[in-house]
Structure 1
């Protein structure tokens, strides 16, 4: 059986923070490429029970307090993650276009197509079904159940009316089955009415997405040459708070940050305005969040003579330096001291003190065991 690997701890923590900020499960899964919503529930349960150490454990290992993923080297960890992602991509290519929930007949066909290169259990895990379910479905493949016959008849009815009817009209034409059941079946196979599709209200200005100019090259030869920025959740106070920060890749120094109650364009522009004057060719890298793609932010960036760069969608690793800083900040303050609920003023004070410590005192091996400020001063 193939090696089973877990999602990176950075992805797990970001998923937890997004859920604490009441971001819908579907949106969290799409942004972070998480396949199964039960994984989110498990991570949230660990977080609420104070078992943060369990987020570091690989799948299939004994969850012992204080132990992290048991990889022989960083290369082994990256290879394990790469195998997981390649398998996910292969499954998603096969399953594309068949609806949100995988039907038994589709599972059987997918397993037959992929089992030569992947273990059956691994394929089933990516599809969110149990291996025992697959074998049960394969055994009964030629014997359609009453539910399958019912589902097919409802599907035929939807197709007959060219998907003009919603679940209420379909249930009226198919007596003996309640509306909720018909609705669930239509949602399961993507047979909903296509005439009046619900549209999500767009907020803010039109989005402007730019190329990934950094391409994971997080090196710089001088200060203010390459910068990275992101927003992280601070779910430790009386209300949800947000930290927007900008990091200089030359020495890892946090050169601008803002803490606010709202995750909006004003938050990131206030952070941007703290930057000193930059030289020509300065690149500022972010993800594709709506605040960064907004017209107002793009205009403010151009006025400062900065070139924007953006991560690919659903790829936190493209902006890993700032993601790592935010994770380190929480690990070395709130999680270390078991602070999960306090006042907003206390949260702000903890973050401010830590950033001062991080910039001026906390040494980094890659900076010749100097702090970011010491490294910048010695380089000058």
Structure 2
């Protein structure tokens, strides 16, 4: 065989006994760490955030090298899907002006909250989810789930946010024009706590982009990968995603690749 390929016998045996280079061995060790981090972050991080995740666990790797190894491992982030709106703006209730006009630039927590409703399919029927997001920290500060899309559901989410955050008067509460947010009872709660009411223009999802972005993230990274037998299963998954992963573990590029909870703590430490 050596004669056929034109190599010496000694050269052939050297090739057979050749050990992988230090660089190759290092790459293989890194690949294992990358796989573990990819799974730990629920297959949601691209190269930049994955690099930060590895660094905080003591593993330093350049971005180009990391991108190459991710490609060799065929690791990809979960694909985004589009979902339709849920609330109905066709009603005769009073509508608030749009105070934000797509200017999402608060300078501290509890200056601007955005609120919205979405739905999740289960074998038992629809599960509706009301959520409230702090635009500065990107945290989900309030949420509630139920069988019906009602003002009581949005009210529960608002009370949760108010209890946990205790915001100062003047906070802007922005939502779409759905009847659940225009309802008298809901507006009374806002007035009692000194919140300023702001609402999107009719049919313009970009006016509530931060909340729409969260729904897409929730469904892309979690819900679209399940088939729920009943509402309780969905509730458990959603609660775990929000409380454990999204607020406390998921790195946010806009926040400097730290989590919403860590960003809030950092703000309060600097303000103290």
Inter-partner Cα distance in structure 2 for 1:293 and 1:282:
17
Inter-partner Cα distance in structure 1 for 2:172 and 2:119:
24
Q: What's the offset of the Cα at 1:341?
A: 3.8
Conserved 8 A contact 2:228-2:234: no
Match of 2:129 in 1: 243
Match of 2:157 in 1: 271
Inter-partner Cα distance in structure 1 for 2:222 and 2:95:
34
Pick one of 238, 241, 247 that aligns with 1:359.
247
- Do structure 1's residue 303 and structure 2's residue 192 form an aligned pair? yes
Inter-partner Cα distance in structure 1 for 2:129 and 2:255:
25
Inter-partner Cα distance in structure 2 for 1:301 and 1:281:
10
Inter-partner Cα distance in structure 2 for 1:237 and 1:359:
28
Structure 2 counterparts to residues 1-380 of structure 1, below 5 A: 12-14=82-84, 18=86, 207-274=93-160, 275=162, 276-335=165-224, 337=225, 339-356=226-243, 357-380=245-268
Using a 3 Å threshold, how does the CA distance of structure 1 residues 365 and 271 change in structure 2: closer, same or farther?
same
Inter-partner Cα distance in structure 2 for 1:349 and 1:341:
10
Structure with more contact order per residue of length (Cα contacts < 8 Å, sep ≥ 6): 2
Aligned to 2:141, what secondary structure does the other structure show? strand
Inter-partner Cα distance in structure 1 for 2:146 and 2:157:
11
Aligned to 1:258, what secondary structure does the other structure show? strand
TM-score for the superposition, normalised by structure 2: 0.64
Inter-partner Cα distance in structure 1 for 2:169 and 2:192:
12
Match of 1:196 in 2: none
Conserved 8 A contact 2:144-2:153: yes
Structure 2 residues not aligned, in runs of 5+: 1-79
Inter-partner Cα distance in structure 2 for 1:280 and 1:13:
34
Inter-partner Cα distance in structure 1 for 2:230 and 2:180:
27
Aligned to 1:352, what secondary structure does the other structure show? helix
Structure 1 residues not aligned, in runs of 5+: 1-8, 32-199
TM-score for the superposition, normalised by structure 1: 0.46
